[in-house]
Structure 1
Amino acid sequence: MPARLREAAEWREYDKGAALFLIGERPRFIYFIVHGEARLRRHSQEGMEMVMQRARNSFFAEASLESAAYHCDGVATEPVLALAFPIGKFLIALAECPNFRGKWISLLLREVRRARGQVERQGLRNAGDRILHYLETECPSGQLRLNQTKKAWASELGLSHEALYRALGKLSDQGVLRVDGLLIEKMKKT
């Protein structure tokens, strides 16, 4: 990261539940979540929270770099320490520093792959299929140690927490998964 961009960054702290930004606001910053977790979220017409991104130790709101308005709410789901980079300075750094621009493009391509997996997962009707898809695409080892509550993970999967618990129970009873607290492991076929 270019020195001038690092120097332009502001340290910001957010309490759990605090908004980093809201839908419709003019984007002024790209964030890097240093500690804690922030989420991009929207709500369905039925009021169900839809999680578009979970950010831990990663950039946040990067899709708003050239937008006229934020398209989601950015909310701290636990206490957050973030670096806020002014968008204008960020754009200058991308234009002036080919090495930084190349790394930024690589980061965005990884995010596109992750988002495509999430879209594919959301298209699956069965809760069990969504869980298995998540394990296959996000956990190459077949093991997931949740760093959030199961209720929060259900939201990320686009499920009610009741549907998640039922599906985990069914997959566990069938011997497809082993669930031990926050550890979820896909069982190997014999």
Structure 2
Amino acid sequence: MPRTDRLPLEGTHPLDWRALARLSPLLAALPEAARLKTRRIQVPRQGTVFCRGDRPQAMFFVLTGEVRLVRRSRAGDDIVLQRARRGFLAEASLDQPTYHCDAVATQDSALLAIDRKAFAEALRRPEIGDRWGDHLARELRKVRAQSERLSLKTARERIVHFIETEGEGGEVELGRSKKDWAAELGVTHEALYRALARMAQDGELIVHGTRLRLQ
């Protein structure tokens, strides 16, 4: 798979920070020193942003498309640890010597690559550090829910947990294919389809395309 360090920057025009600031309070607060060390990269579908074992050189923000953090299970299946759309990717890498998973684009994607040292320096400013702390707290809640979900034994239990934690009022819009969802749940897509069919047959679940509602 292609690597971002071999991909050209998107054009030579300077970044439009006024537009970028509308995407994230953290981007809006970045000082000039960090902005000058930020570049935009294009990653094709199935392209790799980084691989497990690589040394972090940048903090990434997904502008368009989607990038996932993926780790291989003992059975050889992909487990999705994070889906980043219009947001930061692999926040924990800021203070880690190496990456512990792969980052793969599931669509043609555009990302900001902010120099890691410049970003860490920016976080020393209280107004940025506080916003980063709030952001990490929200991400931690998501990670805890994901970890709790993956600890459940059956596909049915994981489906119910996902709908209850990611949806509202017992209903959720997936916004992804069921095959992709299976990887996020840490089950095979065959196991997911069987569980969904069984739950629908038992009157426990109503499925309309990518919208699911618990009964």
> Does TM, scored on the shorter chain, surpass 0.5?
yes
Are residue 61 (structure 1) and residue 85 (structure 2) matched? no
Name which of structure 1's ranges 43-52 and 55-64 shifts more when overlaid on structure 2. Answer: 43-52
RMSD over equivalenced CA pairs, Å: 1.2
Measure, in 2, the Cα distance between the counterparts of 1:139 and 1:100.
30
Q: Alpha-carbon deviation of 1:46?
A: 2.5
Aligned sequence identity (%): 40
Q: Residue type of the partner of 2:61?
A: F
Are residue 3 (structure 1) and residue 39 (structure 2) matched? no
Are residue 129 (structure 1) and residue 171 (structure 2) matched? no
Q: Alpha-carbon deviation of 1:142?
A: 2.5
For the residue of structure 1 that corresponds to 2:213, the secondary structure is: strand
Structure 1: which 5+ runs fail to align? none
Aligned to 1:44: 73
Aligned to 1:174: 202
Aligned residue pairs total: 186
Contact 2:167 2:173 in 1 (8 A): no
Q: Residue type of the partner of 1:185?
A: R
Contact 2:164 2:171 in 1 (8 A): no
Please, which of 166, 179, 185 is the counterpart of residue 138 of structure 1? 166
For the residue of structure 1 that corresponds to 2:62, the secondary structure is: strand
TM-score by structure 1 length? 0.94
Q: Deviations over 1:61-81 (max 9, x none)?
A: 211001111111111011111
Q: Alpha-carbon deviation of 1:169?
A: 1.0
Measure, in 1, the Cα distance between the counterparts of 2:74 and 2:187.
15
Please, which of 146, 151, 154 is the counterpart of residue 179 of structure 2? 151
Q: How does 1:76-95 map to 2 (within 5 A)?
A: 76-95=105-124
Structure 2: which 5+ runs fail to align? 1-28
Please, which of 92, 104, 113 is the counterpart of residue 132 of structure 2? 104
Q: Alpha-carbon deviation of 1:10?
A: 0.8
Q: Residue type of the partner of 1:104?
A: W
Q: Deviations over 1:93-120 (max 9, x none)?
A: 001x211111111111111111111111
Aligned to 2:104: 75
Aligned to 2:7: none
Measure, in 2, the Cα distance between the counterparts of 1:136 and 1:3.
39
Q: How does 1:6-17 map to 2 (within 5 A)?
A: 6-17=35-46
Name which of structure 1's ranges 6-15 and 155-164 shifts more when overlaid on structure 2. Answer: 6-15
